[in-house]
Chains A and B, each alone.
Chain A
Amino acid sequence: MNRLSWFNAVSLTLGFAFLYIPMIILIIFSFNESKLVTVWAGFSTKWYGELVQNEAFLDAAWVTIRVAVFSSTLATILGTAAAYVLVRGGRFFGRILFSGMIYAPLVMPEVITGLSLLLLFIGIGLDRGILTIVLAHTTFSMCFVSVVVSSRLVTFDRSLEEAALDLGCSPAQAFRLVTLPIIAPAVISGWLLAFTLSLDDLVIASFTSGPSATTLPIKIFSAVRLGVSPEINALSTLMIAAVTIGVITASLVTKRAMMRQKQDELAAARTE
């Protein structure tokens, strides 16, 4: 193994410092005794305690989680269906147009997506609340799901589905019993992507939320405008912790599955 050269060590340190110093500062100051965010006055976990008693934050967190679960589930169903038709539907009129259009919301400025959804909801007289946020989040995250799932479907061996049909499955059974279990990892990662997108969305949510429902990012943003409090730091630290645990677990699970498969294949090759 090569040792790190002096140059590489410096670039590595600078790069990671750039990425993580802001977050580390945030975490450190969430344990600050003082109410002043920038002045260190000793270690304390009191802001976490206060956070737990802050009804407004807890409400917002609950709204955010519900929105994320509903919208990502809805987006996964719609996005998977769209991906399946676009990859498998064969040629139909406007297929290229549709597959191009599925990518458009990925690059569309969020302000425009939010504004147009707001106009739509006002136009059809839908009161803004949890439902409208769910619909809005579903709209923009389903294309992410469909991109993830269709990239898996493109490499999916078509003859597996044909084999299922050949053995007596109806097309719907073939999808449920063969296709879906095999593409499940892509569908799940699509769901996770949609879930995180919904969790941290501020722009679209602020267009489509109403007085009855506020999501956590909106709450944090409006609180920060009145001044950063250590409570916000504590809240953000908790969010960072949740995301970190999620990412590490997911990567461990996939890595272990890959290693097991590799070992099995090696064993199979040896017994040949």
Chain B
Amino acid sequence: MSATVFAPWDDPQAEPLIQFQNVSKRFGDFTAIDNLSLDIFEREFFALLGPSGCGKTTMMRMLAGFEKPTDGHILLGGRDIDPVPPNKRAVNMMFQSYALFPHLSIWENIAFGLRRDNMPKHDLEERVEEMLRLTRLEKFARRKPHQISGGQRQRVALARSLAKAPKLLLLDEPLGALDKKLRQDTQFELMDIQEKTGTTFVIVTHDQEEAMTVASRVAVMDQGQLMQVATPDRIYETPASVYVADFIGDVNIIQGRATAQGDESYQVDWAEGQPALLAKSATAFDTGQTCHLAIRPEKVAISADRPTDAVNAVQGKVHDIAYLGNLSTYHVQLADGTIIKAQTANTRRISRRSFTWEDPVWLSWTATAAVLLAN
């Protein structure tokens, strides 16, 4: 087992490949990017994730050179690239619409960037063939873009943007036009190719599952700001704010008041007549401070009787069941009307399901299952 985990962001000695230094971008009155600083390291698969209009595409277009920051600087390999036009950057982009040249064959599309560098004929042919092999497009080399399917077009776009061996590859919603099944296959293909080529990838997506699957680190964005930058598991397990917790996956948010219990332990009073909840938190809270308890549904256990050793347990009745095949999500309504979601894996056949609508149930979770958030 190799001990070296790829985590240059934890290494204070590591030189970032890309640095955003207090970058702002305004279009007229609209602020797309608001004083944002970010480091991205070599060989990373970095995902910019956020709802539409959060500024993620603007970030990418600034990296490609199609937009210039209003304030601040972007550094690539330590060099300020703001004055460098797109055609002079060692950065290539895969466009959302693929932007394949309709008048050129697949082969010529891939060779297009290499021809601009005046690569010798022999090297060029070799490089194009290599790209065709990498993306399994050998059979389609002579076809025109409208003569191949959507998934094949996506691979041509990838091959074309990788052909020049850029330091940095930008992917703008690369899988948006594919159907779900093809998208999942392609995600793994992308990760494979990224590993093989060792290129730094920055991907823009609004699909959180996609970001979680492919990325080494994810930046969650909202309204031109970074809400959190961390590995997918950290984003999921220890979200920095209610926004991030809510944006990534499903979550129960319970608002209450914290009371310190010592040893990083807090008691959360959240509703009249309901037992106080216990949670561990490394971040300090003042006594009486408003806090939000975020619990993932799969960390909530559901049972008919109160588990004897449970730290946190509440009683309610089953309000709704969402059956997803492999999983079921139970929406449990407590006495005060609050709905808490609990998720279980359907390890048994559906006919043997333990609970049904209106059944009284107990929900329980441990002190470390929930995350305590200030805002």
| A residues neighboring B (CB under 8 Å) | 157, 159-160, 162-170, 173, 177-178, 181-182, 261, 264-265, 267-269, 271-272
Contact, CB under 8 Å: B144 / A167: no
CB-CB under 8 A for A182 and B99, given A168-B117, A268-B147: no
**B277 contacts partner chain A, Cβ-Cβ < 8 Å:** no
Number of interface residues of B (CB under 8 A): 31
Cα(A178)–Cα(B161), bound, Å: 16
Given contacts A159-B99, A168-B116, A182-B101, 14 further A-B contacts (CB under 8 A): A157-B97, A160-B101, A162-B66, A166-B64, A166-B87, A167-B87, A167-B113, A167-B116, A167-B164, A168-B87, A264-B147, A267-B147, A268-B148, A271-B148
Closest B-chain residue to A264, C-beta based? B147
Count of A-B contacts with CB under 8 A? Answer: 75
Contact, CB under 8 Å: A157 / B99: yes
Which chain A positions have C-beta within 8 A of B87? 165-170
Contact, CB under 8 Å: A167 / B149: no
Q: How far is the CB of A208 from chain B (nearest CB, A)?
A: 39
Contact, CB under 8 Å: A181 / B103: yes
Contact, CB under 8 Å: A168 / B113: yes
Contact, CB under 8 Å: B92 / A166: yes
Cα(A181)–Cα(B85), bound, Å: 24
Cα(A265)–Cα(B64), bound, Å: 32
Contact, CB under 8 Å: A167 / B92: yes
Which chain B positions have C-beta within 8 A of A159? 95-97, 99
Residue among B87, B92, B95, B144 with max Cβ neighbours from chain A (10 Å): B87
Cα(A228)–Cα(B277), bound, Å: 106
Which chain B positions have C-beta within 8 A of A265? 146-147
Cα(A160)–Cα(B64), bound, Å: 14
Contact, CB under 8 Å: B151 / A168: no
Which chain B positions have C-beta within 8 A of A261? 146
Residue among B95, B152, B160 with max Cβ neighbours from chain A (10 Å): B95
Which chain B positions have C-beta within 8 A of A160? 99, 101
Of A165, A173, A182, A272, the contact of B151 (CB 8 Å cutoff): A272
Contact, CB under 8 Å: B149 / A272: yes
Q: How far is the CB of B34 from chain A (nearest CB, A)?
A: 24
Q: How far is the CB of A68 from chain B (nearest CB, A)?
A: 28
**B112 contacts partner chain A, Cβ-Cβ < 8 Å:** yes
**B176 contacts partner chain A, Cβ-Cβ < 8 Å:** no
Cα(A9)–Cα(B149), bound, Å: 46
**B53 contacts partner chain A, Cβ-Cβ < 8 Å:** no
Chain B positions 43-65 with a Cβ under 8 Å from a chain A Cβ:
64-65
Which chain B positions have C-beta within 8 A of A173? 116
Which chain B positions have C-beta within 8 A of A162? 64, 66, 86, 93, 95, 99
Closest B-chain residue to A168, C-beta based? B116
User: Which 4 A-B pairs give the minimum distances between C-beta atoms?
Assistant: A167-B113, A168-B116, A272-B149, A163-B99
